[in-house]
Structure formats: C-alpha cells, structure tokens
Amino acid sequence: MAGRVRSFIDTSIIVFKKAMEETDDENLKKEYEEQIRKFEKLKEIIEKRKKGELTMDDIIEAQKVTCYGNIGFCCDPNYKKCPYFLSACEALGIDPYDFAKFKRLLTVILLDFLLKPKKST
C-alpha cells in the first residue's frame, strides 16, 4: 500500500500544478496551491515518521489533507477508497483498515454510553 499511496501523493502534486497552469481563475489557483502544500507536507511527515521524529503538530497537519481535517470523520476504506484518507494514514503510518475497525468499536461504545437512560438523582 505504501508505494501506491505515496505515488498518489506525487501524482496529486503534478495534477494540481498542471491545473494551476491551465486556469486563469485566481481563486482556483489559491486552492490548488493549498492542496499542493498539503501533499508536500505529507511527504515531509512521512520522512519525519521514518526517522522517529513525528510530533503532535505533524499528526494534526497530516489530517488537514482530508475533507474535514480529521481522519476520524473519514469514510470507511471498506466502502470508499478515499485517496485523501489513505494518504493521511500513510503519512502517519496507520493501517486505514485497522483505524476503521477501531473507529467502529469506539462508535458502538460511545452510542451505548450516550443512549443509556440517565439515572435520576
């Protein structure tokens, strides 16, 4: 998986750079520049993780490539192969399928807690 996702990161940078060259819309150019910055940051985070230098700021930054800025809100990779989620997981060294299983378990625990009738005091 690592090679495929890493390739997506590199490919995404190329695609966004090409799109920037092809548009005259300054707002779109700014959006593309921001996406390029996020993917370039993911590549830096991968290298830091490999050296054992990953920080909490890196973990937060890696998630910014996703739609909601947090991998906790991403779709389950069993249903949707979102390249943004997969890229963030790769940067962090997380197996996206293990993350999804854990998220499902936490959701059941959270709902069980929230939906239990409250004891009156």
64, 42 contact by CB (below 8 A): no
Q: Is the pLDDT of residue 3 over 60?
A: no
pLDDT at 10: 85
- CA 58, CA 75: separation in Å to the nearest integer? 22
Higher-confidence residue: 3 or 102? 102
pLDDT at 117: 85
Question: Over the chain, what is the mean pLDDT?
Answer: 90
Taking the domains of the chain in order of start, what are their residue ranges?
2-115
For 29-33, 85-89, 96-100, which range has the lowest pLDDT when averaged over its residues?
A: 85-89
pTM of the model: 0.78
